[in-house]
Copies of this chain bind each other. A is one copy, B any other.
Amino acid sequence: MRYPVEETAAKHRRLVDAASRLLRAKGLDGVSVGEAMKAAGMTHGAFYSHFGTKIEMAEAAIAHALDEAHEEIRQLIEASPDARSTFLDSYLSRAHRDNAANGCTMAALAVEVGRHAVGRSTFTNRLKRSIQQAASGFSWGKRRSARDQAILMTAAMVGAVILARAVDDPKLSDEILTATRRELV
């Protein structure tokens, strides 16, 4: 049957949001179309009323998650004079490490973006924007280029969270986060 326009749009938003969390937690091959639809409160058959392929959904989900993160950081920069240190604390936290579903899209999906073509240009634009945001919005040491420092910080944070998640030993995992934090301050 036909559904009210706004209701359909709301379901679409729920699907993209649910997909972005599931993908961050389980990766592209770890999430089925049916699972994403179920998380959005529908059955799998309706999927193709929302997206042409699973890949298209993934691209939308990645763009959505990256945009959400950008907005959060924008607010952080606006609100706090010491935004960089606040951001480091939350990014390199146990909470972030243990909650990939709601965490950084780069740490969760960059490897898969690199492997398949999925969301590559989306990812590129958003990373560019994110580096600019960090370089100009955070405060940096005067000796070296702010942009270089922003790139190093981004790479180190992403790498640290990925490694901390891969590791068995809770002491080592915590140490990866705290040592990276100490070095980046």
List A residues at the B interface (Cβ < 8 Å).
25-27, 29-30, 100, 106-108, 110-115, 120-121, 123-124, 127-128, 144-145, 147-149, 151-152, 154-160, 162-163, 165-169, 172, 175-176, 179-180, 182-184
- Nearest CB of chain B from residue A145's CB, rounded to whole Å: 8
CB–CB A172/B114 < 8 A: no
Closest residue to A120 on the B side, CB-wise? B168
CA distance A5 to B148 in the complex (A): 55
Q: Is the CB of B151 within 8 A of A180?
A: yes
Determine the distance from Cα of A111 to Cα of B161 in the docked complex, in whole angstroms.
9
Q: Is the CB of B151 within 8 A of A155?
A: no
Task: Kindly report which residue of chain B lies nearest to residue A97, judged by CB atoms.
Answer: B114
Check if B30 sits within 8 Å of A172, measured CB to CB.
no
> A167's contact among B124, B156, B160, B172, by CB below 8 Å, is which?
B124
In the complex, chain B residues whose CB is within 8 Å of the CB of A107: 111
Whether B167 pairs with A127 at a CB distance below 8 angstroms is yes
Residues of B within 8 A of A148 (CB): 179, 182-183
Chain B residues contacting A175 (CB-CB under 8 Å) are 151
* A114 near B166: Cβ-Cβ < 8 Å: yes
CB nearest neighbor in B for A165: B114
Bound complex: CA A162 to CA B158 (Å) = 9
Would you mind naming 20 contact pairs between A and B with Cβ atoms under 8 Å apart? Answer: A26-B115, A27-B111, A27-B112, A100-B115, A110-B166, A111-B112, A111-B166, A114-B162, A123-B167, A124-B166, A144-B183, A148-B183, A149-B183, A151-B179, A151-B180, A152-B180, A152-B183, A155-B180, A158-B159, A158-B163
